[in-house]
Structure 1
């Protein structure tokens, strides 16, 4: 849930994107890494931008993540992010690391930047080497612009098995200035982020230092990107990157600023919207599932139970089959580490009570089935032990998920 604050000055920009914040541009081209679609993209800030990032906690962090971490560690500033799809450049040893450095250097030279002002991201098949001749040629063809078409070109370039582009944009008034936050993301399979093949990119023209930006990103990631799951698999390339170039002209934002919570709320709206779009576009998915857990002992336990339920293969298949089998929800709660009061637990499917007071409730199977045939499903659980709440998002598990992943490389 968003914090209970005044958010009347926060506005959703329906046609906004990563280039809507002042001073940002983007582009995407077909470099030839895949047959026909765009596969190489860039986000560019006209001035150096403060930055923040969170990364996968996989033991096998891909080469681009290592290079990006090195870039950010230098000054906490970025001016460009170059991204390729089709190939993750992961588990590729020293050659893969050198290729990621080469991507960074080629981009820096192309746009007359210091190397460490460039971040690198890759997504796609693990364990294959990049075709650097195609990458390098593609970088020379990138022409960032602040247009809707350019934003679409970038958004297309980062997709793999995704069926739709993911984008979100909100603006909020800070110090009498309009601060805009835009985002783009990709993700459809191997989605079970654990960040302290999902990629998220956020741009903002807010005036905020890197440390404060990192604080916001970490907090909001735990409420959004880390609360989605498609298949329980965490990628080697998961990363969320944020650039803030200060072009809005507001007073510096820190946690002491009187409108700090308004900025965080807008940031959460962007992140949560992107996260839900990823969950809805899960490989083979037909339904978005939201699980809300209340009555938990702590926020962490609420989030953990919500993600455990939405990540349960049995829950996911039951939703796919429009089967109101609440026993599968009970099963997912039961193997969690959270505190639960068996005498007070409630389980609802939207407004249909399935289980309460440790007893099954009479409900219409026909009504429940009709509800489960919708494309957005909400499951609510009250653990009955406290006041904390949390949410998680996922999707159903279908035959098509198996088909897609059985032939991913072919």
Structure 2
């Protein structure tokens, strides 16, 4: 597998565009992804019981396992907007279908932004008409989906599968309201691999658990967001069958793209200055290991300690204890970076000045060994800063 420069349109047969439709003051706010042929599709969605109108439309579209185009707007979430919101999401779907001369059911819709505001649908529909895929800059799509993000998030990889070069690209937005169960962001993955939607859905669901669902910024689960995967088969590799060598290569690509995007989202948490990675070793089960790791990176006290560059390991132990998972309080080993702070739950002497210097890094690694099993789990989060409060205090305005 090789990482290459590229965009969400790098796989064969895909194109993408983004433009300013007037939803934001200046920045791009409307984007589209298009496949030359209908693509096999898979998706996972937020578990928030209050879900935005575009999710209703997209769930119906993806139900038959096929999507050819995706339209996304930022600035307005089109959530909690009643029947009018559903009408607007349907209008976006119809407009793209008419423009591209494809079936309405092959168009997915996504929105992100402020909840409860009515979408200026005429601006969106005018923007859809203005999208020019033939003369587009695909990376404009990466810009168009952002809200409070400070940077775009993209990754492109290639690998040889059954004698053919397969490309996979991913792009995501997400900075606040990040605590997926899936999901609390928008993420789109395209590939030219030949694979059926059922198997694609199975892979997405499995890898979501260990990647996107293992990030947290602030503990909030959004009303809107999803991960959508399109595979159009234009690499012309033989159909990928489960448990084959080709399948294992594809899964490796998919996991790498998903994990990379997940970590990019965690690192770009609103106001964040540091990425925190928590790894839990020798837990009773993998699900418990993942849960404990996520509790650690999600703890406000751990997050503020990391921001303050304070090696207060008591906050980490506290998070382990309230995770509700199997632990032996007398067997826990704990490291921050390569410095062991606890051995079988007994504190060790460490150089606090040196530790404070280590905590000044942009990425902080926390490792916990529970010494009760052989399962592992990892999660990613960020520090909690003054800037986070400022961003969210002023978000609506």
Structure 2 length-normalised TM: 0.98
Equivalent residue in structure 2 for 1:122, among 108, 111, 136 = 111
Equivalent residue in structure 2 for 1:104, among 93, 113, 119 = 93
Task: State the alpha-carbon separation in 2 of the partners of residues 401 and 247 from structure 1.
Answer: 43
| Closer/same/farther in 2, CA of residues 282 and 190 from structure 1, 3 Å limit | same
> What per-residue deviation string (whole Å, max 9, x for no partner) do you get for residues 27-47 of structure 1?
001000010000000011011
Counterpart in 2 of 1:32?
22
Write out the 4+ residue segments of structure 1 that deviate beyond 3 Å after TM superposition: none
Equivalent residue in structure 1 for 2:55, among 65, 69, 72 = 65
Counterpart in 2 of 1:6?
none
Equivalent residue in structure 1 for 2:35, among 39, 45, 61 = 45
Task: State the alpha-carbon separation in 2 of the partners of residues 156 and 266 from structure 1.
Answer: 24
SS at match of 1:259: helix
Task: State the alpha-carbon separation in 1 of the partners of residues 184 and 199 from structure 2.
Answer: 27
Q: CA deviation at 1:196?
A: 7.5
1:279 aligns with 2:279: no
Counterpart in 1 of 2:210?
223
Q: CA deviation at 1:341?
A: 2.1
Equivalent residue in structure 1 for 2:230, among 222, 243, 251 = 243
Q: CA deviation at 1:173?
A: 1.1
Q: CA deviation at 1:258?
A: 2.6
Task: State the alpha-carbon separation in 1 of the partners of residues 121 and 332 from structure 2.
Answer: 56
Counterpart in 2 of 1:4?
none
SS at match of 2:245: coil
Contact 1:124–1:197 at 8 Å: present in 2 too?
no
Contact 1:230–1:279 at 8 Å: present in 2 too?
yes
Task: State the alpha-carbon separation in 2 of the partners of residues 151 and 301 from structure 1.
Answer: 40
Counterpart in 1 of 2:164?
177
Counterpart in 1 of 2:361?
374
SS at match of 1:233: coil
Task: State the alpha-carbon separation in 1 of the partners of residues 159 and 287 from structure 2.
Answer: 28
Counterpart in 1 of 2:3?
12
> What per-residue deviation string (whole Å, max 9, x for no partner) do you get for residues 321-378 of structure 1?
0000000000000001211122321110011001111211100001110000001110
Task: State the alpha-carbon separation in 1 of the partners of residues 241 and 302 from structure 2.
Answer: 41
Task: State the alpha-carbon separation in 2 of the partners of residues 296 and 256 from structure 1.
Answer: 27
Q: Give the paired residue count.
A: 397
Contact 2:151–2:268 at 8 Å: present in 1 too?
yes
Equivalent residue in structure 2 for 1:307, among 294, 302, 321 = 294
Structure 1 length-normalised TM: 0.95
CA RMSD of aligned residues (A): 1.1
| Closer/same/farther in 2, CA of residues 35 and 404 from structure 1, 3 Å limit | same
Contact 1:216–1:264 at 8 Å: present in 2 too?
yes
